Structure formats: C-alpha cells, structure tokens
Chain A
C-alpha cells in the first residue's frame, strides 16, 4: 500500500499522527457519548476522564459505568470488563516481529486498541525500523489524547453537543469502517483468504446486528480462522476423492 502521508525520516511521529487522524472520526463521537453516559450514570467529569485515561478500552468502559449504575457487584464489573478486553492478548504478539529493541514499546502498549492495532499491523512492516517507534508513538498518543479529550467534552457539554451536531455525530464515525476497509482490502489476496475474511466480516456484522457486540470480534475471528484452516484441506481431499473415483 502506498502512503498518503510521507514518512519523513526526522518526523515519523508526525506521519503516525497523520495516518491515525481518520481514527478520530470514530473515537471522538464515541468518547463524547461515553463522557455523557458516565456523567448521567453518576460519575463526575473528572472521574469519567480518569476512567478513559487509565482503562482506555471503549466497549468495556461503557459496560463498566453501565454495570456500576445498575448496582452490579464490583467483582463482576471488573471480571466482565477484563473479559471483554481479553481479545487484546493477540494484538501485541502480532506486532512483535516488527518492534525494534527499545524500552519505549512496553509503555506504548497501553495505546494498543483495536483500531491502533489494525493500523499498525498494516503499516509497521512497511516502515524502516528506525521510524517504527516514533510512528507508533505518534499514532497511539493521538488516538489516546482524542479519546481523553472526547470524554472530557462529552462529560462537560455532551448533551448540548449531541443536540447541536447530531448529523455530524452520525456521519463522522463512518471514518472507522472506511479505514478498516482500506486496511483489510489488500489482504484479499487469494480465494482462501477472501473466503475467510469475508466470512469474518459477515459473522461480525451479523452478531453486532443481533446485539452481541462484545462477542462479535472474538467469535467472528475464530470463525474466520477456522474457515481458513478447513479450506486448506478441502482441495487436497477433493483431489484425493477425484483420483479415487477417476472423475
């Protein structure tokens, strides 16, 4: 994939920020919603911002404040929050081959969200090793800052913003699927990959429509991976059967 943003050798962090910019279209409106919902659930704006800063995981944050507001036991709130975030365990190992030796990487893992992973998984292999840390730092910090800023905005003025900019709140989040589409499209390189990835997308969308948003990512990914493995054996078996039957 070519680049819109040139990665100038001196400022890889700037290129990272530029390439992560489309993420803001999805992050900011959702963060505003979180800030608003958190304050409606009884948290102060300061507390909402602290949760966004420390936990920094969209879906689980909504669940966290929702369960607290509903009076769920704290151990269950924590368990469910961590369960939803369990999918994150496969992200960093997938990036590991492209991470350079530096003490900065472990700290930056706090910013490894679904979206930052998708972007980094596509871009890190294309960057020179010397630019990867700066690029990832720029992309991850911009995304994190936008999430925290959006939460603060939502907690302080969310009601008014939603009322005044309702249409923009509906349009801007499309930047996320558009970005993911651009990241996933180059991977449709063979029939086997196309089938596995196409199935994954459909299962994830289907589960989300049915209301299983939190399960959608791990379940759909498991279906896609299974499909990829099964399809690998299908041609061999077919060939074998073909040979046996002399068709």
Chain B
C-alpha cells in the first residue's frame, strides 16, 4: 500500500500512460500538481507564455504523434485561456487531455478568487469532461480521460481538479493499467459488399478523403483503393498528405479554395466515396448542389456524422482502416480509362494556377521556394488566413501528419505554438510554420518558449500588414468598403524576434532571397523568416460563402 497525494497520483498516472512532455502554466490552484510534477524524472514540462499556447503545443505533439497529449493550466483565467485550443481540438478531432486546477471544493460556487466553472464552460467543446471530487476517483478518471480522448473519433477531454483533491492523501494498492483505445465498432460486411458493388458499377466515381484517414493511419490503404479502382481522389483540408499531391490520381483539395477542375470533377461524379470526412460547408459549398448526380458511400467512425449533412446510400459506421481493409479485396481492379481521361482533360482546361511561382517574392513563389529547399521529412504548420489557403493549394504534401492546420475552428494564433509542439514531438525534423502578420501577433509571445526550448522551428512570416482574408472578402463581397482590415502601424517583426532571442532573416533585404531562405531553413534551431507580400493578391479560386462549389470566382 502506497500513500500519496492526489497530485502525486496524477503525475504517476501520466508517467504510466507514457506521457513524456507536457505544456502548461502554473498558478495558485494547480500548484500542488506542479509541486508533484517537479519530482518527475520522466516528464519534461514546457512552460508556455499563455495558456492558449500550451493548448496548441499539446495539439502540435498530438497532431504529429496521433497519441493524446497533455496541457495544464490553473483555475479561472488560466482555464478560460485554454478554451480556444480545446474547441479547436474538438472540431479537428485531436486527442488531448487537459488538466486544470480548480479552487478547493469548499469554495466552489462562492465566486472565489480565480473561480470559473470550466467544467460547465467546456461541456460543448470536449468529448467529455470531469470534475474530480476525491483523490481516489483519479485512479479511474485519468485512464478514462486518455481512453476517451483516443477512442473512436479522437478529441479533447478535460479534467478539472480542485486544489484540496490535489492535496488529499490517498492509499493506492495497485495502479490501473494504462488506457488503451476501445475496440473499433463491428463492421457491417453487408454494407461493405454493397459499397464495393457500387464502386465496381460506377462510371464516374470520386474518392473523397477526410481527416479520419489520417487519424486512423489509413492513408496507404486509401491510396491503394484509389489505384485499384481507378478513383480520382480529392482531399479535404484536414486530409492533405493522405495521398501525395503529385500522385496521378490526386485531384487536390476540394471546396472553397480548391482548384476549378477539382470542383468540376465532383460535379460530374456519379458515385462519391466519402472516407473519414464530414461534408463540412467549406468543403462542399451549398450542400444541396454538391455532387448533384452522385450516390454516396460514407465511411466514418462517428455514427452521428452519417446522414448528418448528406444522406448516404450506403453508410458504414467503422474505423476507416478496418473498413478499407474489408473493402479492398471486394473491389475490382479497373483502369477506368474513359473517366480518368475526362478528369485529365478537365485538369488541363481548368488547372490550379500559381501566378508568380518562380518569383520567391510572391506568395506562391515563397511557398514553392520553401518546398524546394526541404524534403518530405519536414513538417508544415500554418496559421489561419490567406497564407494557410495558399500553402494548402501549393505545398507538395506527400505524407500523412506532415501538415498541421486549424481546419474546423480556423484559429488564428494556431501556427507558432503548434509548430513548437510538433518540434518537441519530432525533434529531428525541420518544422516550418507559415504564418501571416495577423495570426502571428495572436500568439507571438510563444517566441519566448521557442527560444527557451531552442527547437528547430522556422517561422515563415508572409506579411501584408493586413487581415488579408477579411480584406479580400470586403473587397469582393462588401463593395470594397475596407474597414478594420488594414493595420495603420507595422511592427518590426525582425526586431521582435531578435528581442525574444530568436534569430531573424528579412528576405525583403536579401539580394538573393532564394539563397537567403534556403540558408535560414538549413541552419539548425529557431528562425524567423520575414517576407513582405502584396496585399492585393487574393486567394483564388474562391467559392463565395453560401454558394455552390461550381460558382467559383477567379483562378
């Protein structure tokens, strides 16, 4: 029988779960836990500069590893500062365990100092959450939190622990076994047979891959299905990298900023095989006009996604990997020459266009130059805005978990801390964070964390001194009434980075920007790479919000 505090028990349970790096910020109500954490020889704590940064650092680790990662905050403002990162993880199905301190139980409900009901606040943005009422309960709650975070459709789980529970002594005879994921749902083989039959009989099928393909480790199987059945394959923002961008069957990203030909191919599809995607409005445009002639096969681990937006002719509630393994032997090898040559002709007639791609002083040119200087081992994170869409369109993603972006929530400020998390999880890789000046300023304080950890993160700042996507929408859809989208002052980002102890390169001043860029990318350690871009360059094509995907403008 061992006696320990609730805080010590939590640390032991995290260690036993295999947690090796956590990110957080201490404060009054979580100090007993931090005191216990200081005694851990296995867990490295990364001190973020804002709790939202800690949340995204955990996300970065989770997005590259696929394993639930931990962030920590104190009660009150510490906990509320995590809210955006939790909501972001929820919408993108990222496994995360969030630990917050809470005021002592006797003070709950008294409006005590730094008391907020983070349990109540996070109900709609977590898979599940816990308010722990005794130290003994931690023996169940902590493994349960990890199990829930990683089972089925992954997501964030919050554990709120009052300070007295952290201090409470508890007798522990045996530790619970580390959590493992629940078994996958039973596969409906009759539905798989029917799906295979529909694929075999389709004339103009399209494969539509979502983030579930990445989460379940099914990217190679998805590519195999595409090759076997001759399926042109489109990917959502979350699925980029599932199939190499230059694969002959890849038709790139669909939706609001997809290529014209991609949306036209979907328009003509007679069968849509949707795998681990959820018919998000940015991907499908106006739902009633999406793939108007297509029957739908929908495979998803989350039963509530089936028939949610579009009714499926065959709905398969399954782990994507299990479903594809069962589907593959039932699908005929097909060349599908007529359809694929038609897809090729659409691609030739309505290609994705990258104006300026040979000039590293343009947005596409900068992205191409970064890609040219790196290999497929590099990890690419982005913030949110024009730069994010340009990178999604232009970067040659070739492997799953290479691409980290805030899809569902679209959180500006995501990029830098997520890149830090990615570098913590995979210290041998180069991590590039494409960002814009608007997004960068939303978590710029994490430059201090980056400098402290000395990680191999290269921030490529595409600076147009504006909220570019807002500027673009005001220009296109609001009668050019530009309001609150241009900054009137411009900070010196190079000085800011250097002030935080992060070396910086200004490509604007470089005689040979391509060489300066490559040199900065290849030098180990953190670096800010600053490049001014033209504010009048917009993301095209663009489907106006609420329009059908075929009603693209530009591009």
Partners in one complex: no
